[in-house]
Amino acid sequence: MKMLNAFTVDLEDWFCVGNMEGIFPPSTWHEQELRIERPVGYLLELLKKHGVRGTFFVLGWIAERCPKLVRKIHDAGHEIGLHGYGHKRVTSLDRAAFEDDLRRAFDAILNAGIPREAIAGYRAPSFSIVEKTAWALESLASFGLKYDSSIVPFRGHPDYGWAAIPAEIHRPPNAAGIVEVPMTPGFGGGYFRLFPYAVTKWIVKKANRHGRPAIFYSHPWELDPDQPRIPLPPIKRFRHYVNLHKTAPRLEKLLSEFRFGSIGEVLIENGF
């Protein structure tokens, strides 16, 4: 049987992302057009077609505005995780502020009707658990979470990466028992849109050859090529808008060629 890889979605809208943080601070989000419903509907249909349960890391702000959407995801059998409340990077917060943001995210998702026991994991906005914010893992454990999937075992990106972290799923020392599910470098997001699909296939096969499940991530706004075009700096503009029209057909290929499930299912299959 093929190895089970993880299909994950960071549930945020087009104006919530890191590329837009200098243009649309959270205090202005309520003024923007919510476009998240249609791409999430597409994702749910696609995952149903391929018999895949995914993990959706839900932004607390989105849960407050779209509680029916979050319940729809949960009712379709997908796993719900936390993505913070206001998409604040952990590197911009101290421990008290991080835990306050986490508490607000929990409350928003619980108020949307998701049972507490259904919320098992966390992903930091912009993968911002790095070496200097390792304390966040203890905070996650103190909230009763079972796993984190925020760390990229990689060196070279200006905003994230922790090269010393093992690429395998593991329990980091001094993390109060929480399980770390490291990201697979280059597998998802802008990389998925920018690189030829053959590169994506190579990334999955390489991870699986080494006995590791590949952890894929995407965002609803990456399935929305008609979203507003904001005059971003050149690098951010390229990173955000490149090949949005290619996301849907590439997802179809990916789910047809490899075996995927939720992070919870991957953990069970790997003995955690």
Most distant pair of Cα atoms in the chain: their distance: 48
Residues 6 or more apart whose CB falls under 8 angstroms from that of 209 comprise none
Beta bridge mates, 56: 9, 80
Where would I find the beta strands (DSSP E) of the chain?
A: 4-11, 55-58, 79-82, 119-122, 147-148, 179-180, 215-218, 259-261
Residue the block writes with tokens 């890191």: 18
pLDDT digits (tens, 9 = 90+) for 248-263: 999 999 999 999 999 9
Residue the block writes with tokens 């001094």: 174
Long-range CB pairs of 13-19, under 8 A, 24+ apart, other chains included = 13/62, 13/220, 13/221, 14/221, 14/224, 14/227, 14/228, 16/59, 16/61, 16/62, 16/87, 17/87, 17/219, 17/221, 17/240, 18/87, 18/89, 18/125, 18/126, 18/159, 19/232, 19/236, 19/239, 19/240
Q: What is residue 20's predicted lDDT score, i.e. its pLDDT?
A: 94
pLDDT digits (tens, 9 = 90+) for 112-143: 999 999 999 999 999 999 999 999 999 999 99
pLDDT digits (tens, 9 = 90+) for 233-251: 999 999 999 999 999 999 9
Looking at residue 32, its amino acid is Q
Domains, the chain, ranges and CATH? 4-269 (3.20.20.370)
Looking at residue 241, its amino acid is Y
Q: Chain centroid to CA 230: how far?
A: 23
H/E stretch holding 254 reads helix 247-257
Average pLDDT in the chain: 96
The pLDDT confidence band at residue 163, using thresholds 50, 70 and 90, is: confident
**CA-wise closest residue to 182 among 202, 210, 201:** 210
The pLDDT confidence band at residue 22, using thresholds 50, 70 and 90, is: confident
* 54-82 mean pLDDT: 98
Cα–Cα distance between 62 and 13 in angstroms, integer?
8
With contact defined as beta carbons under 8 Å apart, do 15 and 272 qualify? Answer: no
The pTM for the full model equals 0.97
Higher-scoring residue by pLDDT: 112, 19: 112
The pLDDT confidence band at residue 103, using thresholds 50, 70 and 90, is: very high
* 38-44 mean pLDDT: 98
Q: What is residue 4's predicted lDDT score, i.e. its pLDDT?
A: 98
